Structure formats: C-alpha cells, structure tokens
Structure 1
Amino acid sequence: QRMSKAARRCLETVLYYHSTDISPTCTMVVAFARHAKLPLVFKEMSYEKGDRFAKGFLKLNPYHCLPTLVESTASEVSGAGGSREDQKAEFSLWESQAVLRYLCARFPENEAVQKAYPTDIRARAKIDQMLDYRHCTLYPLVCKATNSLLGYLDAISEEELRSRYKTMDEELHRFAATYLDSKADFAGGMDTPTLADYSIVPGLAFTTARKGYQLPARVERYVDAFLKAVPTYAPMRAGFLRKVAELAKATEDKRRLERASGSQYKS
C-alpha cells in the first residue's frame, strides 16, 4: 500500500549508521540518500563505544546491526523527554539492501530514486539480480580475500592469500564480462547509477588491502564512472581507502612484533 504524501510529511525518518570510512553496508545507503537529497536525519553511531548495544537501540533493532532506518510520527518525535532511540518507533528496518529498496518505495517522486530503481519491471528485476549477486557471490569473495589482512581473521599463509585473491580476481573479471557493457558506464548496461552500483562499488575498496593489487581495468573504469556520477561518494571512498591502509599496516606491524617475540622466546 502506497503511503500518501500527507502521511509521509508526518513521519521523521532517521538513518542510524556507523563510519562510512570502513563499512560498505553503511556507505551504500548514506551515499545514495545524500546523493538523492532524501529528507533523512543522519545519526552516526560509535562502534567503539558500543552505541548499538544501548537498551533503547536494541528495542529498535534486536540484531544491533547498521544501518538501521527508523520512522516515527511527528507527535512521537516532538514529545518531551528521551532520545529518539527511547521513543516508540512506528517502523524500523535493517539490512542495507532492504533499506535501499524501502527508500525508493518511500520517495517515489524523487528523480534520483526513479533513475536508481526504475519502475520498469525488467529493469528492476535486473537490478535486484545484481544486488543479490553482490550480496551472495562477489562480496563474500572480497571479504574472504581481504579479512585476514585487515585483522578481522587470523593470519593465513602467503600461498592461501594468493589463492584467495586469485579467486576474487577471477570473479571480478567474470563480473566485468557479464555485467559491465562496453558502451554503458554502469552495471547491467545502465547509463546512470542504480542501487546495484551503490551496493557493489563501496566494498571493492577492501581489495586495496593487499599492496600491488589492481582491479581489472574495466572494473577500475566502472568505479571511476561511479565517482564522477555520485560526487557525494568521493570523500567517503577517500576515507575508506585511508582506513583500509591503516588497518592493513597495523595488522602487519602487530603480526611482525608477534613473530619477533615468538622467535625471541624460542631462542
């Protein structure tokens, strides 16, 4: 059931997220919402401080994952006392791709929304297919290749690391051959960015965790096209790349010290 314009005006929509410097799932939603100039309240939460485990937030999202979208009626929002998290929400939603789709349904008159998620059922089906592909196939391979370098998983052998990067690289070439048309800038042969691009591009920054690795040339051009088309994403990507480099260096330094300490102990 489509929400009336009057009903939409009575709602405040709050997007809870954490740092776009290291979270692709948050980055995709924040970048899209900012580019489309959607009337959201952006509320950044601290992972380090454990904001997402606060009692009030757990009422909104028992899975305490981010991003989380929360809508409250005007009367609930303006009521005295308590933070937004403490107030009764009319609606809450998590899982980044579900949030993206909901925002498109919520603001159907928005021009950027119409381009990112067209109403044509075949175009929309292709975008949904690419969103599922990113979530189920491509991104897991990126994470498997890079997580040990970033300290999210235990160290692995150089041989295993090369194998994982090779598997990821092969899939990126297949992605380019399957979804990146030579005549169109964006995935699925689209001329303007869609939700699929907002979902796919941010996570590719993780691949820089391994020094010397370069994305396939066609994928590099795809990322560059997205940066030009969505200028609000550029500072997020710059911050993301810096954070990946910092994490990779910190992880490498820590493991070097651990190896040195271990050798010293053995001697």
Structure 2
Amino acid sequence: PFSAPCRQVMMVGKILNLPIETKPLDLMQGEHLKPEFLKINPFHCIPTLVDDGFALWESRAIMTYLVNKYAPESSLYPKDLQARATVDRWLYWDNGSLYASLGAYYFPIVRQGVKPDPAVATLFMDKVKLLDEALAKTKYLCGDTITLADLAVLTSITTAKGADLDLSAFKNVDRWLKELETNYASWWKELV
C-alpha cells in the first residue's frame, strides 16, 4: 500500500532493475516528523531517496535522478531536449493539475472522513478528459515509447480508480492502462 508518489519511484526501480530498499513510515503516527527523518528531509514528505549519502525528495525529482544516474540512455527520460521537455511537461501537469485535483477530492475523504464532493470530483474528471483526448493521438503520453510521464500519470489514474471514481467513459485512458499493464505484468499487481 504505497502512496502514488512512492509507487512512481518503485516502478522506476523495477524497470531499471535497481535494488531499492524501502523503509515504510507510519505517517499517521508522525514518523515522518521524527528528528532522524527531518535530518534527511526537512520537508518531511515521502518518498525520500538516500543514495550514497545524497538525500532527495519529491517523486518526480527522484524518478529523473534515478534514470539520469543509473540509466542515462533509457528512453524513460529521453536525452533529446524537446522529447525530454515533453516528458517534463506531463510530469509537471500531473503534479500540479491531475494529482492535485485528485488530492483535493480524495484526501479529505481519507484523512477527515468527509463525504465525497461531486463538484471536486468533476474538476478531476475534467483533467481526465484532457488526458483522454491527448491519448487519442498517441499510444503513450509522449509518443510510441513509455516514459516517466506515463508512470507518474498512471499512479494518479489508478489511485482515482481505487477511490471509486468511475473512469469507464475514457476509452483512450482505458486502452493506455491495458497497454501499460501488458508491458509491466511482472510487477503490475504489486505496484498498481
């Protein structure tokens, strides 16, 4: 039961065959606020990566770091400037728009026990509609190859499905999910 941002990092680790050691924290018990964690990450967010003494937080930064360091030739994060900028655009859109709107809907339900707000759900669904329209033009978010953008957006979409948001109207999103599941069947059930 990893958070969407943690799952993104774990997926990159699986794809690149990196031995990522996890140390689960109980956020409800405030383990992320303990002095030993705050030394590593004063922003007290997860995931946080420590690699040879270098601490990095924010999932998308960790994803790009892992590819840059351990698989710089990987198509997950292409070297071509425009191709990489396209991946970055999707990463930023996911974080600032798609995942943010999902969080506005989902986190109050989970953290405060409030009833789902249909108006907030609509804001998220409007973002999924844009995603669906984009996927009508390409196999994956950035063309014919899976990139970090697909992994980031994937976790937002699967979290939404886990929150009982009905995404069945979005046929291109559904096709894209099935394509990703086929490609990553070996770890799909574990991380998605």
RMSD: 2.2
Instruction: Identify the structure with bigger relative contact order (alpha carbons < 8 Å, sequence gap 6+).
Output: 2
Report percent identity of matched pairs: 23
1:201 to 139, 154, 158: 154
Cα deviation code 1:65-106 (max 9, x no counterpart): 11111123xxxxxxxxxxxxxxxx3x1111111111111111
For structure 1, list consecutive stretches of 5 or more residues without a partner in the other structure. 1-18, 73-88, 238-267
Structure 2 match to 1:140: 100
Secondary structure in structure 2 of the residue aligned to 1:93: strand
Indicate conservation of the 8 Å contact 2:98/2:156, yes or no: no
Is it true that 1:63 corresponds to 2:19 in the alignment?
A: no
- 2:162 & 2:13 partners in 1: Cα distance? 27
Corresponding position: 1:219 with 2:176: no
1:132 Cα shift? 0.6
Per-residue Cα deviation, 1:207-247 (whole angstroms, up to 9, x for no partner) = 2356572341211111121122223233222xxxxxxxxxx
Q: Which residue of 1 aligns with 2:25?
A: 46
Alpha-carbon offset, residue 31 of structure 1: 1.0
Between structure 1 and structure 2, the one with the greater Rg is: 1
Aligned residues: 189
CA drift at 1:29: 0.5
Instruction: Report the CA distance between 1:50 and its aligned residue.
Output: 4.1
The CA distance in 1 between the partners of 2:141 and 2:183, in whole Å, is 13
Partner in structure 1 of residue 59 of structure 2:
96
Report what 2:182 is aligned to. Answer: 228
CA-to-aligned-CA distance 1:117-149 (integer Å, 9 cap, x gap): 11111100100011011011111111222333x
Corresponding residue SS for 2:43: coil
Distance 1:41 1:218 in 2: 32
Instruction: Summarize the alignment of residues 119-198 of structure 1 with structure 2, pairs less than 5 Å apart.
Output: 119-148=79-108, 150-153=109-112, 155-156=114-115, 161-177=117-133, 179-182=134-137, 184-188=138-142, 190-198=143-151
- Give me the whole-angstrom Cα distance separating, in 2, the residues matched to 1:228 and 1:101: 23
For 2:36 and 2:154, locate their aligned partners in 1 and report how far apart those are by CA, in whole Å.
32
Give 3-state SS (helix, strand or coil) of 1:69's partner. strand
CA separation of 1:209/1:146 partners in 2, compared to 1, >3 Å: closer, same or farther? Answer: farther
TM-score (norm 2): 0.86
Matches within 5 A, 1:16-27: 19-20=1-2, 23-27=3-7
